[in-house]
Amino acid sequence: MKTWVYFLLCENDTLYTGTAIDPLRRFNAHCAGRGARFTKMRKPIRLLGAFVFESRGEALSNEYRFKRLPVPEKRRLAALAAEDPAWLAYLMEHETG
C-alpha cells in the first residue's frame, strides 16, 4: 500500500518527519493533539510536503534516513517534497474531492 513520508513545520521553526497513508488526515490528527509526542509539545503549523513510496516498509526506511539528516538538509528535502508532482496531485485530488 502506498505510504507517504511527510514534513511538518512546527512551533519554534522545528521540523517533524513522519509516515502516513493519508498525510492530510494525519496532519489534522497532529493539530488535534493526537499522534506523536513531538507534535504534542510543539504544535504543528503547516504540512510542508511529502514523498510517496510504494510500500510502508520503504516509507519507514526513508523516514528513518530522513530523520538522521542534518537540519539544513532536512529543510532542503522538505522544500523538494513541497514541489513533488505526486504531492501536488495528491493535494489537488483532496481539494476537489
Residue 5, strand partner residues = 19, 51
- The helix or strand, by DSSP H or E, that contains position 85, with its residue range, turns out to be helix 85-96
Pick the CATH number of 3-96 from 3.30.70, 1.20.140, 3.40.1440, 3.30.750: 3.40.1440
**Alpha carbons 23 and 4: distance in angstroms, whole number:** 7
Domain boundaries, the chain: 3-96
pLDDT in tens, 2-22: 999 999 999 999 999 999 999
Could you tell me the pTM of the whole model?
0.93
**Alpha carbons 62 and 31: distance in angstroms, whole number:** 24
What nine digits make up the cell of 55?
A: 510500500
pLDDT in tens, 11-53: 999 999 999 999 999 999 999 999 888 999 999 999 999 999 9
Got the DSSP string for 16-39?
EEEEESSHHHHHHHHHTT-S-HHH
